[in-house]
Amino acid sequence: MTIIAVASSDEEFATGAMHALVEGEFTAAHAEDGLQLLRVVFDRQPEVVIIDSEIAEVDAPRLIRLIRAASDAAILAVITSDDLERRVELLDAGADDIADRAAPASELVARVRAVLRRAARARTGTAVRGGIVETGELVIDLDRHTLTRNGERVELTRTEYRLLEALAARIGETAPYRYLLSLVWGDRYTDNLHQLRVYIGYLRKKLEDDRTHPRYILNERRSGYRLALLPSSTPARAGQRSGAERSGTPEG
């Protein structure tokens, strides 16, 4: 499950933020000050770090720079005022987004999902081997938005492809249900698990030899789905590229 670190010396704020994150199906780790946060980042490797700008021990801009130098985690800074200079200072230090401390916890969680989506798109855009993701007989061409299996084009609708792309962005890792729903359909649909299951079924029908014993799209019970990272057994990529170019982009 996705780990979110909450760094705040304010127990009330930290408790509220962590409760909202757990309700949003994240794993939350609390750090009471800047030094403890650095230990959490190294030990737990969170995907997002929420930093209270009034954190004790290490001032927030310096803390952000330290984390940015040592980790790929997205950073969400929380401030107590609309001080423009403070916002600019934190963003210049390396924060990915700024949240208002007075905003409801639901907005904080929504911002966490938003930075996760941006991080996923960044990982996808710089995928291994120049935009190509390979697993078993599958080749996902993220630049041309195509999928081939054993060198043959597999037709996907746009929604099916977006879901496959979201899984490919975390290939080998479990993608939480709500993460996938938010990334593919938007934050309003994060409770619509039935819709996700339906589209996972559509993908399995097109990708798997036996949908009852899937090789590629695996269900991590009560957690999410995972695109398995299997040894590649595909034909030469040059042929796949030319075939993809002839086929165009997916419809649906």
- Reported as a single tens digit per residue, the pLDDT across 88-133 is 999 999 999 999 988 899 899 989 988 887 776 665 444 445 578 8
**Where are the domains positioned within the chain?**
3-123, 127-247
Please name the fold of domain 127-247.
Arc Repressor Mutant, subunit A (1.10.10)
Intrachain domains 3-123 and 127-247 with the same fold = no
> How sure is the predictor about 34, in pLDDT bands with cuts at 50, 70 and 90?
very high
**Residue 246 pLDDT exceeds 70:** no
Confidence (pLDDT) at 223:
83
If you average pLDDT over every residue of the chain, what do you get?
A: 84
Tell me which of 213 and 187 has the higher pLDDT.
Answer: 213
Tell me which of 187 and 69 has the higher pLDDT.
Answer: 69
Taking domain 3-123, whether its CATH number is 3.40.50.2300 is answered by yes
Tell me which of 229 and 19 has the higher pLDDT.
Answer: 19
Listing DSSP states for the chain in one string gives --EEEEE-S-HHHHHHHHHHHHHTT-EEEEESSHHHHHHHHHHH--SEEEEETT-SSS-HHHHHHHHHHH---EEEEEESS--HHHHHHHHHHT-SEEEETTS-HHHHHHHHHHHHHHHHHHHHHT-HHHHEEEETTEEEETTTTEEEETTEE----HHHHHHHHHHHTTTTSEEEHHHHHHHHH-GGGTT-HHHHHHHHHHHHHHH-S-TTS-SSEEEETTTEEEE---------HHHHHHHHHHH-S---
